[in-house]
Amino acid sequence: MSALIVIDVQNDFCSGGALAVPDGDAVVAPINELMSGFDAVILTQDWHPAGHSSFASQHPGKEPLDSIEMPYGPQVLWPDHCIQGTRGAAFHPALNLDPADLILRKGYRRDIDSYSAFFENDHATPTGLDGYLRSRGIDTVTLTGLAYDFCVFYSAIDAARLGYDVTVLSAATRGIDVGGSLAAARSAMQEAGIELI
């Protein structure tokens, strides 16, 4: 059984958004076309409370894309984005939501960020996605969405670590590329045995 996991295709990560991924809108059409080819479709949604600890605005003297140490490890600081209930947190208007079996919200705990669809950034606190997939008998996952070198990357690595057969479809994802993060993500995924198409 296979699942398509669509990561964070939200207004704030698309053109004009608070944390726009270059060419982010281009993932929507290919993702919509892919949905019918899977046993399950899961959408993740970045869902931050206002004043989230990963926002640069919460750290005096810090700018977006600066890095700090948090209790759970290094954390890139971001512009305020995907705040619960805002237009920026909503899914891209052209994304087909009807085939989604599950919409999983992440990043809603104020003191910890959540890149991965499977775990918070402490790499220990589960989101519940693994249990959902196992209860559905799913053992193969294909990842798409935004951004390739952060939330898609961490989700893919965690899925591989949990024993899933993992593919990332490059045509249906785009990256930010902070300090070489795109190349690093690609290399780490290849080392983890993730198929990159």
Q: What residues are labeled active site? A: 8, 106, 151
Interatomic CA distance for residues 168 and 132, integer angstroms: 20
Burial of residue 16 (number of CB atoms within 10 Å: 0-12, 13-18, 19+): exposed
Please tell me the distance from the alpha carbon of residue 47 to that of residue 114, in angstroms, as a whole number: 10
Buried-state track 179-189, b at ≥16 Cβ within 10 A, e below 16: eebbeebbeeb
β-partners of residue 73 are: 70
Q: Which amino acid is at 142?
A: T
